[in-house]
Amino acid sequence: VPGALLLAPDEEAGQWVRAAAAAAGLDHAVCHKQRHGDRDVAVALPSHPVAGRAVVIVDDVASTGRTLCAAARGALAQGAASVDVAVTHALFVGDAWEQVRAAGVRHVWSSDCVPHASNAISVVPLLAGALRGLS
């Protein structure tokens, strides 16, 4: 997404967001997450302007989706023009997929490490390259 703000939903994802932002020449920010239970999380957005901007939330795993939902709702509440998600492992257990969509997320792009309707990024070239390097 041209000119997007890459947003890490928690400190752990900050490392991947920083790397992705540097590679793409995009702005980034990191949220602060408080987990109260498996399906009960609070995400505080950083003091970074999101109003009128496209936001892409970048994370490694989407299981219950609650962290993604909280970050998406927060960005939209602060006036984000759109919110998309890029995630490595799209587990989306139970009603997670429906919850993420209901939170206002426009697109979800995931790798094909876990089969899911959101798969848009193939890891085959990376694996093939790694295997070629072993021989």
Residues marked active site are found at 33
Rounded CA-CA distance 34/123 in Å is 31
Secondary structure E strands in 27-111: 27-30, 32-37, 40-44, 54-62, 82-90, 108-111
Strands 32-37, 40-44: pairing kind: antiparallel
List Cβ neighbours of 30 (8 Å cut-off, separation of 6 or more).
7, 8, 10, 11, 13, 14, 17, 46
Strands 27-30, 54-62: pairing kind: unpaired
For tokens 């206002």, name the residue. 104
Enter the tokens of residue 115: 């089969």
